[in-house]
Amino acid sequence: MPARAYWQGQIRLALVSIPVEIYSATRSGAAISFRQIHEPSGKRIHYEKVVDGIGPVDPDEIMKGFEYERGEYVLLDEKEIEGVKLESKKTLELTQFVDLGDIDAIYYEKPYYVVPADDLAEEAFIVLREALRRAKKVGLGQLALRGREYVVSLKPCGRGMVLETLRYADEVNKAASYFRDISDAKPDEDLLDLATSLIEKKTGSFDAASYHDRYVDALRDLIERKRRSKTGKVSLDTEERAPSRGSNVIDLMAALKKSLDRPGSDARPAPRKAPARKATTTRKRA
């Protein structure tokens, strides 16, 4: 477990308070970091904080300012900002419980692991966890984290619980404005059968470890080839591969059939035009 908790406080359910700690459940993936370099000299480019007419300034002289009129600011220091009184800074009060399926996946933002703060809190923590599990519900409340207040959900996860920050309604674009031009036409049944069979053929258990960032791998390969190049240049594949587009139903039908005919890797194959039940008879081919 990490030595430093992301947040420490209590979960409150009516008159019951449970001291907890939360830890970030995710971390940044492998990434290639670039610096800006002055090509003629090969040296790094640095940035300085400057004031018009004054030049570079001392970081200790910098404050946060809110512009209430053009060129007019209200200045706040860190102590004043941290001193804003908000109960959710230290307490997550569960004010509502909903079914898991009631929250659209688009609202979920970032997950955190929740653990009891000490042995005394463990009993109440376990009771809440198992009550949520039995009821098949998700707890909702609001929590202040790093300069803003979030709507959060709380649900069981193994021996612990997972807290997830949620986006507010005004942070999510309305889907209707993007989808309104898509027709309500029903798909051709034969095409739908083929597409369903293709999905069944590629159905399997989710394994996060089987995926990795191929773009990072390609960048590392490019960097290594250029590092070893005596001329400092490498050949690049600049040819654009335009995706093929079917112009009519016949093309789509042929493409789906061809996709089904391709040998599967680890996916479970399915019959061409058979119900999903019969798909189990072809498992030996997987």
Residue-wise pLDDT for 218-259, tens only, equals 888 888 888 888 777 777 766 656 555 545 555 877 887 788
Per DSSP, 274 falls in state: -
Confidence label for 169 from pLDDT (cuts 50, 70 and 90): very high
Model pLDDT, residue 12: 93
Model pLDDT, residue 268: 47
**Strand duo 160-166 + 148-157: pairing:** antiparallel
Average pLDDT, the chain: 82
User: Radius of gyration of the chain from Cα atoms?
Assistant: 28
In a domain? residue 244 = no
Model pLDDT, residue 116: 96
Which pair of structure tokens corresponds to residue 14?
Answer: 């009516």
Task: Calculate helix-pair angle for 249-261, 189-201, nearest 10 degrees.
Answer: 30
Cβ pair 138, 155 in contact under 8 A? yes
Distance CA 103, CA 98 (A): 8
Identify whether residues 124 and 208 lie together within a single domain. Answer: no
In a domain? residue 242 = no
Model pLDDT, residue 244: 56
Distance CA 8, CA 89 (A): 9
Identify whether residues 228 and 130 lie together within a single domain. Answer: no
Identify whether residues 215 and 272 lie together within a single domain. Answer: yes
Predicted confidence (pLDDT) at residue 213 exceeds the cutoff of 50:
yes
Q: How many domains does the chain have?
A: 2
Identify whether residues 118 and 19 lie together within a single domain. Answer: yes
Which pair of structure tokens corresponds to residue 169?
Answer: 């309604």
Angstrom CA distances, 79 to 8, 59, 82, 91, stand at 19, 16, 5, 20
**For residue 147, what is the domain's CATH number?**
2.40.290.10
Identify whether residues 124 and 257 lie together within a single domain. Answer: no
Cβ pair 30, 216 in contact under 8 A? yes
Predicted confidence (pLDDT) at residue 214 exceeds the cutoff of 60:
yes
Strand partners, 110: 165
Cβ pair 128, 11 in contact under 8 A? yes
197's CB contacts (< 8 A; 6+ apart) are 260, 270, 271, 272, 273, 274, 279
Model pLDDT, residue 285: 40
Predicted confidence (pLDDT) at residue 277 exceeds the cutoff of 70:
no
Predicted confidence (pLDDT) at residue 168 exceeds the cutoff of 80:
yes
Helical H segments across the chain, by residue range: 78-82, 119-135, 176-179, 189-201, 214-228, 249-261
Identify whether residues 156 and 256 lie together within a single domain. Answer: no
Confidence label for 88 from pLDDT (cuts 50, 70 and 90): confident
Cβ pair 160, 123 in contact under 8 A? no
In a domain? residue 258 = yes
Instruction: Give tens-digit pLDDT for 134-165.
Output: 999 999 999 998 878 999 999 999 999 999 99
Q: Left, alpha or beta for 191 (phi > 0: left; psi -120 to 50: alpha)? A: alpha
Angstrom CA distances, 256 to 202, 235, 242, stand at 13, 36, 19
The mean-pLDDT minimum among 78-87, 184-193, 262-271 falls in: 262-271
Model pLDDT, residue 18: 94
From the number of C-beta atoms within 10 Å of its C-beta (0-12, 13-18, 19+), residue 20 rates as buried
In a domain? residue 264 = yes
Distance CA 197, CA 258 (A): 12
Range of the domain at 160: 7-26+84-171
In a domain? residue 43 = no
In a domain? residue 122 = yes
Identify whether residues 136 and 164 lie together within a single domain. Answer: yes
Identify whether residues 160 and 194 lie together within a single domain. Answer: no
Model pLDDT, residue 272: 43
In a domain? residue 182 = no
**Which of 171, 197, 221 corresponds to the end of one domain?**
171
164's CB contacts (< 8 A; 6+ apart) are 108, 109, 110, 111, 112, 152, 153, 155
Identify whether residues 15 and 105 lie together within a single domain. Answer: yes
Distance CA 192, CA 187 (A): 7
Identify whether residues 20 and 148 lie together within a single domain. Answer: yes
Confidence label for 3 from pLDDT (cuts 50, 70 and 90): low
Which whole number is the average pLDDT over 200-216?
Answer: 81
Confidence label for 9 from pLDDT (cuts 50, 70 and 90): very high
In a domain? residue 73 = no
Which whole number is the average pLDDT over 111-128?
Answer: 94
